[in-house]
Amino acid sequence: MQNYIRKRAVKIAQYILQTSSTVRQAAEVFGISKSTVHKDVAERLPRIDEKLADQVKGVLDKNKAERHIRGGEATRQKYASSHLNG
């Protein structure tokens, strides 16, 4: 694994821990795809720093568990605003 990939994986992991961001949010901040973020933290990071990988996995699992709530809220807001404008 190349050094810049190692550094990127660790930076992404630290960002996710500090901000509790989702894979999508981290991808946007780092200017890379969601697939790359996921591969970095799920496959590459455990080979670099297992403890850090476990911590990030906890944040991502929490985000995944809450995903349906965020989606439902976004839909509610969408229809609320279209109802007011329509």
Q: What is the pTM of this model?
A: 0.78
Cα–Cα distance measured from residue 48 to residue 35, given in angstroms and rounded to the nearest whole number: 18
> pLDDT-based confidence at 1, cuts 50/70/90?
confident
pLDDT tens digits along 27-51: 999 999 999 999 999 999 999 999 9
Is the model's pLDDT at 16 over the cut of 60?
yes
Expressed as residue numbers, the domain containing 12 is 3-85
Do 9 and 44 meet the contact criterion of CB atoms below 8 Å apart?
Answer: yes
**3-state secondary structure (DSSP) of residue 10:** helix
Q: Which two three-digit tokens encode residue 6?
A: 């190692």
> How many domains would you assign to the chain?
1
